[in-house]
Structure 1
Amino acid sequence: MFRRIAQSIFATVIALVVFHVSSFAAPDGKALFQSNCASCHNPLKDATGPALKGVDSRVPSKEWLHDWVHGSQKLVQAGDKYANDIYNKWGKIPMTPFPSLTNDEIDAIVTYVNSVEPPSAAGPAAGATATTEAKESNGWLYTVITLILLVLAIILWRVNSGLRKVAEQKEGQASSEEIPLYRNKVFIAMAVIIAFIAAGYWIVNGAIEMGRQQNYQPEQPVFYSHKVHAGINQINCLYCHAGAEKSRQAMIPSPNMCMNCHKSISEYTGDADHPLYTAEGERVDGTKEIQKLYKYAGWDPAKKDYIRDANGNIKATPVKWVKIHNLPDHVYFNHSQHVAVGKIQCQRCHGSIEEMDEVYQAAPLSMGWCINCHRQTQVQFAENNYYSIFEKYHNEIKAGKRDGVTVEDIGGLECQKCHY
């Protein structure tokens, strides 16, 4: 009787562990959204693409949505009216296809975006919490629950063993002497294998992650809010980072660029609508940050003129910005090739920059991340003279033999593209 009870309890615990593992392995809509969709979409408002909350109720059907995510151009070229309406509304810029996403993963993303609610109120706690929650994960909670269930399973196994001994003694049967765990060959072998696997995982994962700094968010000498400038005030990224479409480097603007506007804007008046907070939730005085800019630029706000030395030179010093997005020295990356030729939006690599007060590295910028982008991203052949030499692909598209051309098709996976 005791044995049956213990076995039932043990089976229940195993079932809970299996259920926990299966639920943990289910598609994580939030993680999928952040890694695939967040660079162009926001659940609640239009960004590079439309707001996604309630998208399943706007499209013709769930199957249509799956086909759109897997390859929107197929629907456009097939003459689908709804697909063409979206395509024309958003400047005839095709959505990046995601053929690797399964239907279940797409449904998980839709479930997540539908669950997102607008913030109830602005304040230090709300601002700080929103930034923190976006970067935190519940992985630690799953780990703790798994460990607790594992310990409970071991305890019940020991209870079952003890009850079996008591039952055997009561029935007058000779009970076998139990071998201590530290002398049990099976236990020792399993412990060694588990330790070997854990050590291998830790070493390999550490080596892979070496040099990567996703979510890196250093403190800058001047609190510059991209949300205020690029988001609220709609300043084009290329106004400050003019090199992004002309050269390899995007260029960090000098204080003189900032002074084009801040000669007349000497105080921050957006505290009521958009108070500024650091990632730690500390209030930031926007007007004091503008005063810091004046010191770097050598500007006297009282006289409304630059401070000069005896020789007439402006007493200005460069702002020592902390670089956030770093690639290895052996990697070649050209901003103009992606921005001017590839027509890639800034958010594709830098995340929703127009929503960041303090900028952080949103993407991993790893080799695998870049390769996957080259495999999935369709280059814009239409009205793009850069690709006029690829007559074969143009003819295949006109003949309907090809839906589009990815970066991979034009040599985007060749080693010499990035390493030479």
Structure 2
Amino acid sequence: MHIVKYLRPIWRGCSMVLLLATLTCSTVWAQGAAPAASGGGDAAAGEALFKNNCAACHAASDEVVVGPGLKGVMTRVPNKDWVYKWVKNSSAVIASGDAYGNQIFNKYNKLQMQSFPDLQNADIDNILAYVESAATAAPTADQAKADGQGGATAAPAESGLSTQYFTIILVALLVVLALVLLVLIMIISLLTKFLSNRKDLSDEDRELLEQRTDIGKVLQSAVVKGAVLIIAVLLLGKIGLDSVMRIGIAQGYAPKQPISYSHKLHAGEYKINCAYCHTSVYKGKNASIPSANICMNCHSVIKNSSPEIKKLYTAIENNQPIEWIRVHNLPDHAYFNHSQHTNVGGLACQNCHGDIEKMEVVEQVAPLTMGWCIDCHRKTEVNTKGNAYYDKLVAIHASKEPMKVATIGGIECSKCHY
């Protein structure tokens, strides 16, 4: 009877461990590659209006930013009709000789307030309602810092596992497989030693035993060569695929701009809403690049002696545009509409741009690849609240899984390519 034949399952086990490690690498790599105020206004609606139109120059508290703090503003102004006129066209109010208007104008360095003729009276009521509610309920700056509050809407946590987690899983699995392989080798070594000392071992068994435990012959075996070949092919394939997939991807790209501009200071510390500078982010296809006059709304009186601000003055004096360097750039054949995502979808800027309010220099955080966009469309639920268009669809999907963007055509080719 051949005693050594009982070692064959163990030798096969070592081979299976090696092949399992190969399959694990390929699998993990594949996965890794992917309240109403007293004035009757709506404070909730007023918050968005305030941040989009007022926050760059005014605070809802009594803090002076560029213009006066708006806390208790209705106790200082003549009446609400005066507020309507002032917001829509302050220049006309001043020119009419209005005493209070000229008093405010002179007190704040004769800085002309921007006019908002498109705002309706109801919109202004909503802003006043928000100011009143914010002034009475807003936490102090220290409380906000302690609570981790910021001026921008926080981006929802990413769903799914990131490449970093896949790498950790891969390393953990390889360590476990290496330990299993080590244990099997120790068992083979002990059994080999035990069998070699047996006097009743036949010459045929002894010869087979020597062949099976010869490391050189094991390394020359077809199983080991095949496993090494498969691993090499997978590694080269992964490297090649990553190289091809990264063509045009600028994740981490953070170019030096012609004028140093800190989003951390403006959007983070001063909590200026994105839409104040990127004026069409909620209503247009593009977010728009801010023009020099937007900068001058504040910097005509603030830090106008700064070397960086002097570059702004030079550009204006020479009638030359500021040549900002674009950071996020999609291929020409891909259609993307900002308003569809920010206004209709209700997504925060941080969903795609990362924690922009913490960046001294803006960089591209997300890969912005087709796969990344499609993955988001597959996971993001459609916000149908208050939209009668979706009533029947919601009823149809009520008994099924939640309606995702993919459900309403979000992953169809013609959605982004046409």
TM, length-normalised to structure 2: 0.51
Quote the residue 1:325 is aligned against.
328
Q: Which amino acid aligns with 1:211?
A: G
1:334 aligns with 2:368: no
Q: Give distance in 2, aligned partners of 1:232 and 1:415.
A: 41
Rounded to whole Å, the distance in 1 between the matches of 2:266 and 2:253 is 21
Number of residues paired by the alignment? 272
Is contact 1:256-1:297 (8 Å) kept?
no
Sequence identity of aligned pairs in percent?
Answer: 36
* One-letter identity of the residue aligned with 1:408: A
Partner residue, 1:84 = none
Q: Of 359, 362, 386, which aligns to 2:362?
A: 359
Q: Distance in 2 between matches of 1:219 and 1:298?
A: 19
What is the alpha-carbon distance in structure 1 between the residues aligned to residue 157 and residue 152 of structure 2?
A: 13
Query: Aligned ranges for residues 117-196 of structure 1 at < 5 Å?
Result: 170-171=197-198, 174=206, 176-177=210-211, 178=214, 179-196=216-233
| Cα deviation, residue 241, structure 1 | 0.2
User: Secondary structure of the residue that 2:346 maps to in structure 1?
Assistant: coil
Structure 2: segments with no counterpart, 5+ residues: 1-9, 29-144
Question: Is 1:208 matched with 2:211?
Answer: no
> CA 1:151–1:196 in structure 2 vs 1: closer, same or farther (change >3 Å)?
same
Answer whether contact 1:295 1:316 (CA < 8 A) is retained.
no
* Cα shift at 1:264: 1.4
Distance 1:330 1:322 in 2: 21
For residue 347 of structure 1, report the CA deviation from its aligned partner: 1.8
Give the 3 Å change call, closer, same or farther, for CA 215–190 of structure 1 in structure 2. same
Whether 2:392 is the aligned partner of 1:407: answer no
- What amino acid is the match of 1:176? E
In structure 2, relative to structure 1, the CA distance for the partners of 1:214 and 1:170 (3 Å cut) is same
Task: State the distance in 2 between where 1:239 and 1:138 align.
Answer: 37
Give how far 1:348 is off: 2.0
User: What is the CA deviation profile of residues 52-91 of structure 1, one whole-angstrom value per residue up to 9, with x for unaligned ones?
Assistant: xxxxxxxxxxxxxxxxxxxxxxxxxxxxxxxxxxxxxxxx
Say if 1:379 and 1:298 are closer, same or farther in 2 by CA, change over 3 A.
Answer: same
Deviations 1:195-220 (A, max 9, x none): 22333333334433433233333333
CA 1:247 to 1:167, structure 2 compared with 1: closer, same or farther past 3 Å?
same
Matched, 1:253 2:356: no
Instruction: Describe the shift of the 1:162–1:262 C-alpha distance in structure 2 as closer, same or farther (beyond 3 A).
Output: same
Root mean square deviation of aligned Cα? 4.7
Amino acid paired to 1:416: S
Write the distance in 2 (CA, Å) between the matches of 1:151 and 1:224.
51
Greater Cα offset, 234-243 or 187-196:
187-196
Q: Which residue pairs with 2:94 in the alignment?
A: none
Change (3 A) 1:405 1:181: closer
Q: Which runs of 5+ in 1 are unaligned?
A: 1-6, 26-41, 52-94, 106-134, 268-286, 300-305, 307-313
| Gap change, CA 1:188 and 1:316, over 3 Å in 2 | same
Q: 1:167 and 1:379 mapped to 2: Cα distance?
A: 68
Is 2:370 the counterpart of 1:373?
Answer: no
Give the C-alpha shift of residue 246 in structure 1.
3.0
- Report if aligned partners of 2:151, 2:268 keep a CA contact under 8 Å in 1: no
**1:55-94 paired onto structure 2 within 5 Å:** none
User: 2: distance between equivalents of 1:389 and 1:212?
Assistant: 37
Q: Does 1:392 align with 2:392?
A: yes
CA distance in 2, matches of 1:327, 1:232: 30
Give the deviation of 1:48 after TM superposition: 7.9
Would the aligned equivalents of 1:96 and 1:377 in 2 still touch at CA under 8 Å?
A: no
